[in-house]
Structure 1
Amino acid sequence: MSHAVVIGGGIGGLTAALALQQRGWEVAVYERAPSLDPIGSGLTVAANALKALDVLGVGDAVRELSALKGEGGIRRQDGRWLIRTTEETAAARYGDSVVLLTRAALVDLLASRLAPGTLRLGTAVHSADPDTGRVATGAGEVTADLVVAADGIHSAIHHSLFPDHPGPLYSGVTSWRLLVPRDGLSCPASETWGRGRVFGVVPLADGLAYCYGTDTVPAGGRADDERSELLRLFGDWHDPIPRLLEAAEAGSVLRTDLYSLATPLPAFHRGRIALLGDAAHAMTPYLGQGACQAIEDAVVLAHLADRPDGLAAYTAARLPRTTTVVKASDSVCRITKLRNPLAVRLREAAMALGGRINPDLMLTTADEILSWRPPA
């Protein structure tokens, strides 16, 4: 039986472990944290990732967690819709819409499907040799036929394989994320675009809303009270944004600077090591594809890993696609950063006109991403 070591117990790492196990691999997942409590609040599992999860037999379990109904889209700061679509329209076009759920729910679901003994929590990986597959961990050294580096945006394995690569670059935007009780508030899935700022509201199961805000500021900033900072930035925006922020618990807001791998890697593998997820193609969150692309990676890697040229084929399959998604997400990021009032008005007019000309504009612009299908 072939043996794989997965470095990192996030969504990409867990999906890769499950996909490899289902294809007969013996897998060990090394996660340096003592538990799988995920950093972050909510995430998007779009039609492309749902199809990948179907390969693993967990797609329907994820769909059951969806609370998305009705319309959604992009709004102005005063609440007026600029462009929108419906869950039913998306489902008809792609065979699936999108599931919006907590990161913890997806992590728990994936971890529950792994074979007993797969997870090695509280165990850091110090290095991995691409030529021999030797992996130095806090619990000793192991050797693997395949090493999957899913160790995140600041991946040490990524840096060791490609030390001359510039690595992730700051996008110029910081983000805030939080989960808030909806308490009966009407919360259609929407993003509101203002001058250099964005605020998103997403309904989740169990009466929760996932909220996120972004602002164009220097990296490394912090506020004594991030909830108060959000109220300062977004407290005069349209309902239900102010009421959701007022309902948030103090200390519940997670602030994160946004980075992306604007310069693509030359490859997603070297020797026996394959890079996956943010370690391979970190991206800004504007298309909601970060976790989705990691899930795609995992299913494709497991499909190809048994072949003699499996990792080269993995790079060939994934590098062009993820490069396109990274660039597309960065392009949206640049558009949201506009602050000049005239530029913002022109942006709003163009979006509104585009939506009138093509009512399915929100979907057609994402066709290349959402119409992906896993390998047969």
Structure 2
Amino acid sequence: MEEAQDIVIVGAGIAGLTTSLGLHRLGIRGLVLESSDSLRVTGFGLTTWTNAWKALDAVGIGDSLRQQHKQFYANLTTSTVSGVQTSAMSFEAKGKHGDHEVRCVNRKLLLEALAKELPSGTIRFSSKVVSIEISGFFKLVHLADGTVLKAKVNSLKC
């Protein structure tokens, strides 16, 4: 069975979902393929800095994530043996383009926020890619279930 898609994104991780949401905000629909049967939540959290928050704002989910994650104002490192502070770094200093914004984001909440903003049917779960071949101006994306997606553009390993 062959199916036509303009854009195919392989992987429903942070990069794949953010790419899809950014395209959606521009009025471009893409299909996200995920080999798992649901969003894969590995790891717990990640530290996001100012540029990451600018990107999250650009795709429209920055404010909702800010409400769920506290901002860091300083990073203190202490010795576990003596309890003496060994170094300190302030995030309150102004950066080249304004204030710094540093927060630790729960990976699961980030993935869910991205997925929630996408139109229904954008993410296709249980869709394992077995090969991709070039056919003229198109890419043929072969799935394990025998489906072939004919795409104008594809993005791998997001």
Q: In which range does the TM-score fall when normalised by the shorter chain?
A: 0.7 to 0.9
The change in CA–CA distance for 1:29 and 1:11 in structure 2 (over 3 A counts) is: same
> Residues of 1 paired with 2:73 and 2:99: CA distance?
16
Q: CA RMSD in A?
A: 2.0
- How far apart are 1:44 and its partner, in Å? 1.5
1:278 match: none
Correspondence 1:11 to 2:14: yes
Deviations 1:174-220 (A, max 9, x none): xxxxxxxxxxxxxxxxxxxxxxxxxxxxxxxxxxxxxxxxxxxxxxx
Correspondence 1:150 to 2:151: no
Percent identity between the two aligned chains: 29
Between Structure 1 and Structure 2, which shows a larger proportion of helix residues?
1
Which structure is higher in RCO with an 8 Å CA cutoff and minimum separation 6? 2
Instruction: Show the 5 A alignment for 1:154-169.
Output: none
Correspondence 1:102 to 2:106: yes
Task: Return the letter of the residue paired with 1:137.
Answer: L
Is the CA contact 2:8–2:33 (under 8 Å) kept in the aligned structure 1?
A: yes
- How far apart are 1:69 and its partner, in Å? 4.5
Correspondence 1:116 to 2:123: no
Q: Counterpart of 2:113 in 1: which secondary structure? A: helix
> Residues of 1 paired with 2:25 and 2:112: CA distance?
18
> Residues of 2 paired with 1:12 and 1:66: CA distance?
20
Is the CA contact 1:65–1:99 (under 8 Å) kept in the aligned structure 2?
A: no
Task: Return the letter of the residue paired with 1:145.
Answer: K
TM-score by length of 2: 0.83
Is the CA contact 2:129–2:142 (under 8 Å) kept in the aligned structure 1?
A: yes
Unmatched runs of 5 consecutive residues or more in structure 1: 152-376
TM-score by length of 1: 0.37
1:64 match: 67
2:23 match: 20
- How far apart are 1:16 and its partner, in Å? 0.7
2:36 match: 33
The change in CA–CA distance for 1:123 and 1:112 in structure 2 (over 3 A counts) is: same
Q: Counterpart of 1:150 in 2: which secondary structure? A: coil
> Residues of 1 paired with 2:44 and 2:13: CA distance?
13
Is the CA contact 1:42–1:101 (under 8 Å) kept in the aligned structure 2?
A: yes
- How far apart are 1:31 and its partner, in Å? 0.4
Q: Counterpart of 2:52 in 1: which secondary structure? A: helix
